[in-house]
Each structure stands twice: as C-alpha cells, then as structure tokens.
C-alpha cells in the first residue's frame, strides 16, 4: 500500500475526532475523541517512518502514546473529582472554574 493511503486515513480519523470534540458534551466522550485524534497523529508518524525507512518516527509515536496515557490519567482523575462533588458532567455547564 502506498503511504498516501495511510496519510489520507489518518487525516480522516483526525477530522472525525475533531468533529466529535465539537459535537459531544460529555467530558468522557471528549477524552475518547481526543484519543482518536492522537492516534491519527500516531498513524501518520508511523506511516512516514515507514516511508523514509527510518525507525525514529516510531519513537515519536511511542512518546505520543506516553503523553496520551498521562492525559487520560489526569483527565479521568478530574472527571472523578467533578463527579464526587456532584457537579454536572457537561462541558457547557462546567464553564466556570469554581468549586
């Protein structure tokens, strides 16, 4: 398969993830859409790494994976903290940064 196919698929996935972030209002689903966007970036990194014939792009992908794991942990911790305070889990109602 040509590299172009992977890049087009990656941009399609990125667009779907961005659309999800714009549409959905639940913080959990927004984090899921963020994962889709990060994975689209990963896919293009690995595809370009294969295109160049160099393994260093895969290191980038692994570091992106680590950053995504950190983001998930902190984001889900925030969601649990929000839920504990019985605040609504809706990004439109959480517009004020108040306890």
62-91: contacts with another protein (CB under 8 A):
62-63, 65-74, 76-81, 83-86, 89-90
From 76, 79, 75, select the one nearest 90 (Cα to Cα). Answer: 79
Min dist CB 24 to another protein, Å, is 7
Asked if residue 94 binds another protein (CB under 8 A), the reply is no
Site residues (CB under 8 A) for another protein, limited to 31-60: 31-33, 35-36, 39, 42-43, 46-47, 49-53, 55-56, 58-59
Task: Tokens 């966007």: give the residue.
Answer: 37
CB-based burial, 35-70: b 16+ in 10 Å, e otherwise? ebbbbbbbbbbbbbbeeeeeeebeeebeeeeeebee
Asked if residue 7 binds another protein (CB under 8 A), the reply is yes
């Amino acid at each position: 398969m040509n590299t172009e196919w992977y890049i087009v698929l990656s941009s399609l996935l990125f667009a779907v993830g961005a659309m999800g972030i714009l549409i959905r209002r639940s913080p959990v689903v927004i984090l899921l859409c963020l994962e889709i966007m990060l994975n689209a970036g990963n896919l293009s990194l690995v595809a370009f790494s294969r295109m160049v014939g160099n393994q260093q792009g895969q290191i980038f992908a692994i570091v992106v994976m680590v950053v995504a794991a950190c983001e998930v942990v902190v984001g889900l911790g925030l969601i649990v903290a929000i839920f504990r305070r019985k605040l609504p889990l809706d990004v439109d109602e959480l517009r004020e940064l108040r306890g």
